[in-house]
Amino acid sequence: MHPQDTDTDFEVRSLDPGYTTDQNPPWWHNTKYLIGGIIFGIVLTKAEVISWFRIQEMFRLQSFHMFGVIGSAVVVGALSVFIIKKYKLKTVSGEAIDLSPKSFHKGQVIGGLLFGFGWAMTGACPGPLFAQIGTGATVIIVTLASAIAGTWVYGWLREKLPH
Amino acid sequence: MLEWLQQPWPWYVAGPIIGLMVPVLLLIGNKRLGISSSLRHICAACLPAKIPFFQYDWKKEAWNLFFVTGVLIGGYIAATLLTSSAPVQVNEKLLAELQLYGITDHTSLLPVDIFNWSAVLTLRGFLLMIVGGFLVGFGTRYAGGCTSGHAIMGLSNLQWPSLVATCCFMAGGFIMANLIMPFILKL
């Protein structure tokens, strides 16, 4: 049923060919992700990553702030993944940690450029869109709805787009 | 302590916490950081319309929807409990440039001169909010990830396709902000 051979979306793990965890856990198992998301949302907001002004400064090379945020996040993330791989750390429930490699396709270039345009225009990537709505900028609901529509249109046109 | 939390956080505090989301999600549930896939799950849940790309069991990815709900709540908490009344610090050059386009209000993180309900149907507001939002949703899924999924998770996992994607995000942003945005902001 799934076009798994072509669908290599790293972010949708249940589509991975080797994915076995079949049963859905009870919904309250997800509260830990809700809490993680709350922390993430607070950090994005307090560090002004969700600020349209900060994004304009970044793309005009007028401030180091955003480069510092992304750069230090990558250093900490890479160090963590290195440790996880080196010591073959397992999840809290004892599962082996699963990090399949990503495959390259043209979408990373074309889609990447298109997303870059949108990032500069809205001043937001997908995470900040949610946080901006939370801060009370209710009009961003329109932007988020439009982003969902964009994802839908991508899915609809997918077979016809170069990959 | 609370007073310190209410100030804008410096990059060397925020960046490492964001980076730590990568191992935390992996260790608590074998999840890969990536926000933009939530948009795909919302499509799969609400309007799959027999499109193969949306035919999968989105409930198995429900954690991601809980996570983005948390991000929204986090934004609310930061804006209500952890907020300071000082205007947002913006680079002087940028402020001067924005003034040319009638964007003078920098009391909040989003310029209210552009992002407000009555601006949605102006040409400038339509381009920035609706066309911009569409490009975010279309582009991230075409690229297979966004800033979190490619730039943070993908680079942390040393994936070169993510490096290509991140460079293209940046290139797109530079082109838009410097070459195209001046014409949009003038409208």
State residue A2's pLDDT score. 40
Nearest Cα to Cα of residue A47 among A55, A56, A59: A55
Q: Within an 8 Å CB–CB cutoff, is residue B88 touching chain A?
A: yes
Alpha-carbon gap: A5 to the closest alpha carbon of chain B (Å): 12
Q: Within an 8 Å CB–CB cutoff, is residue B15 touching chain A?
A: yes
Contact B78 A42 (CB under 8 A): yes
Q: Within an 8 Å CB–CB cutoff, is residue B109 touching chain A?
A: yes
State residue A14's pLDDT score. 77
pLDDT beneath 70: ranges in chain B: none
State residue A136's pLDDT score. 95
State residue A20's pLDDT score. 63
Q: Which residues contact B8 (CB under 8 A, 6 or more apart)?
A: A46, A47, A48, B84, B88, B89
State residue A18's pLDDT score. 65
Buried b (16+ CB within 10 A) or exposed e, A129-147: bbbbbbbebebbebbbbbb
Contact B66 A31 (CB under 8 A): yes
A1-20 pLDDT tens trace:
344 444 557 778 777 766 76
- For chain A, the average pLDDT equals 90
State both tokens at B62. 């429900």
State residue A4's pLDDT score. 43
Nearest Cα to Cα of residue A123 among B105, B183, B181: B181
Q: Within an 8 Å CB–CB cutoff, is residue A16 touching chain B?
A: no
State both tokens at B143. 């690229």
Interface of A with B in 125-144 (CB under 8 A): 125-127, 129-140, 142-144
State residue B24's pLDDT score. 97
Residue A96's φ and ψ, nearest 5 degrees, are: -70, 140
Alpha-carbon gap: B100 to the closest alpha carbon of chain A (Å): 15
Give me the mean pLDDT over the A117-142 stretch: 97
Residue A66 has pLDDT above 50, yes or no: yes
State residue B3's pLDDT score. 83
Rounded to a whole number of angstroms, the CA Rg of chain B reads 19
